[in-house]
Structure 1
């Protein structure tokens, strides 16, 4: 399933790496990573703690120099083209940091003034537009210390949007948000992508990635172990499974075996009994149900279950998903 960058034209990629490697002494933090992030995509960058996600992001942004390998961002080599690339990239990495005694508007003006590519003549309008984009116009005059965590996250997004951006790099953008704040940030990210901006999201929240991203890359032990579209990621090397609820376990098991469905142990309870097994390529769900009914098996429930993103993540990394890198 893994797609190497050279399989897609460079012009179609917002981020492309070839053999990207970073060593700290004898430790290899990132080991020969080939990333391909299509332009206009929402790319979910997943991985357990210590997998090399943050180091990779720092190399892409020119904050850390690679030990070997190549990285291109928006079609230009990094870090050689840092001055040309960074004005086109907005980044929110490791959480927003603001002066607590300044208002949201004043904080954004300071960020904008620090950008040598920005014009002081249009600063007021840019700040107002960014605040409106993230829904904080009403809190522009409020001091940042009075902002909720969700408002601070949105203010961080606003700081990344002060200038037109072709690429947004967001590290845990919904970290610590309540459900309403999470929905708001998710909607913002979708709107960025709808406008043609490529969004690179580092996250440990698999449910969030499933709802938000179009493409996924998974890091483990410094290596990129899988990448591709979200649908391909779910399907790759995965076999669908069938679940049959019936009181006629023995008869159902025999019918399923005749169709090539090897069943697991039954799960019996007071009100149901269930058989599960892998769905073979030679039998459709409809044919299985028809065969069961034809054999007199009382089918009380039937479902085809596909592998979840969490299951794929654990399979690829050997670790759970509730981690931060």
Structure 2
């Protein structure tokens, strides 16, 4: 069954202000988990998740993402290291902090013959911090938040995959949340379901909630997230704003579309450009320090027929493959 962390302490439409300060919703230092038998699942991870961001926790399956999330939520005890949530040191602050954290770990699980609303009632009733007098309003607000009000009375077994995932997010939102942790929220969904969940995450983040999204889908992270952390074999190999990672990635290359491939390659080499690579109807080279317009003028001056010319920056896929040494799924 999916794990839901957090228990509402008050009934409000927006997350309450944190008593703790700080610019980050999640901070870890040297967070490490070694299981019995010596398996090192997470190795010295140092996360810094800005408040109000949609943070993509990206990595291939088996890279340590879910184990890290379980440690953050107090579900697994770290072997070493420290962490804080919403400014409160953990694990001592779990009792007062988790009511402001919603989480969905390892997929939703509901009673198939109960309606969506009835399933949420069971979640809410199991929460010792929830006031039963306001349960109806709280459940109604959660269903409305994820766009399931019209389907509240429908049995869960009749829900589409996207509706099931939205109901799981509703269960994590049964109360005001400052931080929402979602482990592979679009795993197994069809394209329509993926779009539904992606739009919902953006809407939740737009209301000021920090959203921490674990995924192995590069396209999903690229479309939703402003910040990312990249895991490989239990280690965090890169972290920061997506735009900054793009800038720090592989150097841009010049791309010349031409029928005169050999002549263009020779001209670029004479101009002192490195990494000249002839291709099928094009030549690429490292951009270097020379202005692109000067290179284009040089080619034309030497009689090379230039059909297209531009500076190509590396894709996120190329950057992340360079960081991890392996590919990512790009579907989303």
TM-score normalised by L of structure 1: 0.91
Q: CA contact under 8 A between 1:253 and 1:263: conserved in structure 2?
A: no
In the alignment, the residues of structure 1 paired with residue 221 and residue 92 of structure 2 have an alpha-carbon distance, to the nearest angstrom, of: 32
1:110 aligns with 2:122: yes
Which residue of 19, 24, 30 maps to 1:19? 30
In the alignment, the residues of structure 1 paired with residue 193 and residue 80 of structure 2 have an alpha-carbon distance, to the nearest angstrom, of: 40
In the alignment, the residues of structure 2 paired with residue 45 and residue 233 of structure 1 have an alpha-carbon distance, to the nearest angstrom, of: 14
SS of 2:134 mapped into structure 1 = helix
- Counting only pairs closer than 5 Å after superposition, residues 225-236 of structure 1 correspond to structure 2 as 225-236=237-248
In the alignment, the residues of structure 2 paired with residue 127 and residue 229 of structure 1 have an alpha-carbon distance, to the nearest angstrom, of: 35
SS of 1:314 mapped into structure 2 = helix
Q: Name the residue aligned to 1:212.
A: 224
The alignment yields a C-alpha RMSD, in angstroms, of 1.7
Structure 1: 5+ residue stretches without partners = 1-9
In the alignment, the residues of structure 2 paired with residue 44 and residue 14 of structure 1 have an alpha-carbon distance, to the nearest angstrom, of: 14
- Counting only pairs closer than 5 Å after superposition, residues 106-255 of structure 1 correspond to structure 2 as 106-255=118-267
Q: Name the residue aligned to 1:3.
A: none
1:34-88 deviation line (CA, Å, top 9, x unaligned): 1000000110001122211111000000001111110101111222211111110
In the alignment, the residues of structure 1 paired with residue 154 and residue 33 of structure 2 have an alpha-carbon distance, to the nearest angstrom, of: 42
In the alignment, the residues of structure 2 paired with residue 285 and residue 127 of structure 1 have an alpha-carbon distance, to the nearest angstrom, of: 58
SS of 1:112 mapped into structure 2 = helix
1:313 aligns with 2:320: yes
- Counting only pairs closer than 5 Å after superposition, residues 269-284 of structure 1 correspond to structure 2 as 273-280=281-288, 282-284=289-291
- Counting only pairs closer than 5 Å after superposition, residues 255-294 of structure 1 correspond to structure 2 as 255-268=267-280, 273-280=281-288, 282-294=289-301
Q: Report how many aligned residue pairs link the two structures.
A: 310
Q: CA contact under 8 A between 1:235 and 1:307: conserved in structure 2?
A: no
1:268-301 deviation line (CA, Å, top 9, x unaligned): 3xxxx21111111x11222222222222211011
Q: Cα offset for 1:261?
A: 2.1
Q: 1:86 to 1:206 in 2, by over 3 A?
A: same
TM-score normalised by L of structure 2: 0.89
Q: Name the residue aligned to 2:56.
A: 44
